[in-house]
Amino acid sequence: MDFIQINVQCDAPFGEILTAEMGELGFTSFVETELGFEAYIEEEEFSHPAVQTLFNNYRKQTRIWYELKKIPKVNWNEEWEKNYDPINVDDKIYVRATFHESKPAFDYEIVINPKMSFGTGHHETTHQMLALQYDIDHKDKSLIDIGSGTGILAIMGAKLGAKSVAATDVDEWCIENSQDNFDLNEVKPEFIKKGTIHQLALTETYDIVLANINTNVLLEEIPEYVKILNSKGHLFLSGFYETDLPQVNALVLEHGLVEVKHTTRKNWVAIVYQKVS
């Protein structure tokens, strides 16, 4: 049985959305790449019109480029392992899969098996969020990761000493994958809930709120993040380009937060704010 491979390039926050949608179309394997992801499906299950319709539905929200090719049947676990490299974040944090050798010399080591979920540390947004987390005190803090994907940021928070971590995502696969990764890292989250911040209507408040999503979602949800953020708490945001920083910044500052630090990497921004009131 031959397979169809689609190489997709898109804005990072939409990678998770598109992989979830493509999973519904019958795609069974995904490999994250620097610019997006590769998706695989058995040739007889493949519908090009369905894929075109899916991508057209998102073109107003993100750039999407893709190419197709037919490839012979392969061992997907073996291919995935060949294409998944461990991540070194500033020589302080080491992100690896279960089949990589442990590196105890690093301050922190995170084990991630991403399956179909985004958030491995490979992309600029996740890489920068991890680096920013390293510089902010998490000890005895309560934390929630909105749009958690693999759960990597919540896991980082737990390793940095957070007293409690929680996670949310809109995709069931991400919920399951993050639970697997919490288990791999011996982290017990307070909860992992499915839904948007509006749907969940959370009543708990947190010392640290993290959201690595996309510009449109961030602009819609920032007021909700502020509501669940404790006084003196920190809000971490990423998933947007430098060109979007002014409007994100303006909205956050309007809600009484001040910028602590931001970084850029290949035009992607990650930023941390503090609630002063």
Residues annotated within the binding site are 126, 147, 169, 212
Burial pattern 53-77, b for ≥16 Cβ within 10 A else e, equals ebbeebeebbebebeeeeeeeeeee
Q: Go through the chain and tell me how many residues it has.
A: 277
**Closest by Cα among 185, 191, 105 to 148:** 191
- What would the DSSP string read from start to end of 46-109? --HHHHHHHHHHHTTTS-EEEEEEEE----HHHHHHHH---EEETTTEEEE-TTSPP-TTSSEE
Beta strand 206-212 with 93-96: parallel, antiparallel or unpaired? Answer: unpaired
C-alpha atoms less than 13 angstroms from C-alpha of 43 in its C-beta half-sphere? 8
Locate 36 and state its tokens: 């997006």
Residue with tokens 């893709």: 66
**Binding-site residue set for S-adenosyl-L-methionine:** 126, 147, 169, 212
Q: Integer distance in angstroms from the first to the last C-alpha of the chain?
A: 61
